[in-house]
Structure 1
Amino acid sequence: MDLDPDLSALGALGGFFVLRTGAPPRGALPTLAQAYASEPPEGGADPLAERIRKVAHSLRAPELRVAASLAHQGLAARIWSVALGSAALYGRVPDLDPRLLRWDPEGGVPDDLWLSEVRPLPVASLDKVVREGHLAPLAAVLRARHSVSARLLWGNAGSALAGTVRMVDRWARETGRTDVRERARSLAAGLFAHPELSGTLDPATGRRRSCCLYYRLPAGGLCGDCCFDRPPGRE
């Protein structure tokens, strides 16, 4: 099964898998390549800073580092969902070059994404498309700007990948698509073999080995896969 021109089949898997194609209806939006730029643009909009500020305001984050981590996890979940969902469902991966993906930093959750052009790639390119094309440059800019640790960010990426597999698995069981479930699991196992992702989750429990800092929000608690048994600093 090849990619359909508007990737409509992805939407059946859930909101995190939706990838709109063509031009955004509200006019020009920044590309993810602009968001990953090492230096903020002079005199222009800074989409990554805008997103982090929005997350900080919406969740009343006590510091930008917390908002940066949560914004990162949301975007990582979106990219993994689109890429792994396509690979499992179509047997192809759309070219998600950051220059082709437009992003609305002021949008809601899940992040709003538009792909300018649908160009199919082989499933073998999945790691290169996501980890190299998105997660590595995004982690680099967040480390530089907000001093978020690499361990935390790759933990976010591993958690987001595991969450994507669970969502695909649930849809596949509900629809009887065991082929999609098995492809997703097999592909994820290969992705988790990479050194940057291999130690992010406990293989026995599926729990993280780092924390996304969600507990630091005023109303925050622990995520389902948190490495902690109780929020640090609380009795």
Structure 2
Amino acid sequence: MNPASTPPPTPSPQRPDYARLAAIGPYFALDTSATGTPPPDYRPLPELYGTGPDAPLAARIRVVAQRLGTAELRVAASVLHLGLAARFWSVGLGSAVLLGTVPTLEHAWARIPDQGPIDLWTPPEPVRPDSAGLVDRLHQAVLVGRLEPLAAAVRAAVPLSARLLRGNAASALAGTLRVLEAHAPGRVLELVAQLLDRPPLAGSGSLLTGPHGAVFRRTSCCLYYRIGPGAGLCGDCCFTRPPARPRRND
């Protein structure tokens, strides 16, 4: 072969610097160590979506209920769901605005610690330029890939309305926006606004911008106020005061 016609070597795929996400906080951290195997005590992420009384999610709901001091499993399930939704949005949205890519987490493994957000590990995913925009990729990777099976698993464990869980997903997205506004204000606001305008999140709340940043008001309640008299309301709740709880007839 003529050396002059030898094609140049193919450059190795670029790997996103996920350490930039971990610097923001634990909700954004994604372990992509190139060892090829997950750390000890991690389990395949799809196991989180298992159903049945002994499934990891059902067991975790009971733990959360105990720690919150509530006998209402649906309150604990909603609080847990909101935290997990925030975890997935943080990784996805943070990657989109800071790294220009969205990890699919298709081969991710997870570990549920005693405290704090779940730990996530995934084999390194190279940046894959394609025709899909970041909004489409976030919708597919986070909403379809993670939050839809999560909502189904939560509803299999505890009866919660689909509307409430959509509200949780929107609330978690807005909360992630507030964290990332300091890092990429215009870009992250545009992505979040587009996600909130398309199904299934369309109609779940209103996103307003002001001098102090974005404000979100959801159209459903996450039930946090039902933990106890002093719990109060979340900042984006549809209520302006906690609803009166019905009296029990003893």
- For structure 2, the residue ranges without an aligned partner over 5 or more in a row are 1-13, 209-214, 246-250
Alpha-carbon displacement from aligned partner over 1:65-99 (angstroms, at most 9, x marks no partner): 111111100000010010000000011112212xx
Match of 2:3 in 1: none
CA displacement at 1:50 relative to structure 2: 2.4
- For structure 1, the residue ranges without an aligned partner over 5 or more in a row are 173-179
Match of 2:248 in 1: none
Q: How do 1:1-235 residues align onto structure 2 when only pairs under 5 Å count?
A: 3-4=15-16, 7-22=18-33, 25=39, 27-37=40-50, 39-40=51-52, 46-97=55-106, 100-122=107-129, 123=134, 124-170=136-182, 172=183, 180-204=184-208, 206-218=216-228, 219-233=230-244
Cα distance in 2 between the residues matched to 1:55 and 1:18: 22
Cα distance in 2 between the residues matched to 1:32 and 1:114: 9
CA displacement at 1:121 relative to structure 2: 4.4
Cα distance in 1 between the residues matched to 2:55 and 2:128: 30
What percent identity do the matched residue pairs reach? Answer: 47
CA displacement at 1:131 relative to structure 2: 0.4
TM-score (norm 2): 0.79
Contact 2:16 2:127 in 1 (8 A): no
Q: Which has the larger Rg?
A: 2
Contact 2:86 2:173 in 1 (8 A): yes
Match of 1:177 in 2: none
- The structure richer in helix per residue is 1
How many equivalent pairs are there? 217
CA RMSD across the alignment? 2.1
Alpha-carbon displacement from aligned partner over 1:48-71 (angstroms, at most 9, x marks no partner): 122212211211122111111111
The amino acid of 1:207's aligned partner reads R
Contact 2:110 2:118 in 1 (8 A): yes
Contact 1:156 1:212 in 2 (8 A): yes
**Distance verdict in 2 for CA 1:101–1:108, change over 3 Å:** farther
Cα distance in 2 between the residues matched to 1:20 and 1:107: 18
RCO higher in 1 or 2 (8 Å CA, sep ≥ 6)?
Answer: 1
Match of 1:176 in 2: none
**Distance verdict in 2 for CA 1:199–1:155, change over 3 Å:** same
SS at match of 2:205: coil
CA displacement at 1:28 relative to structure 2: 3.0
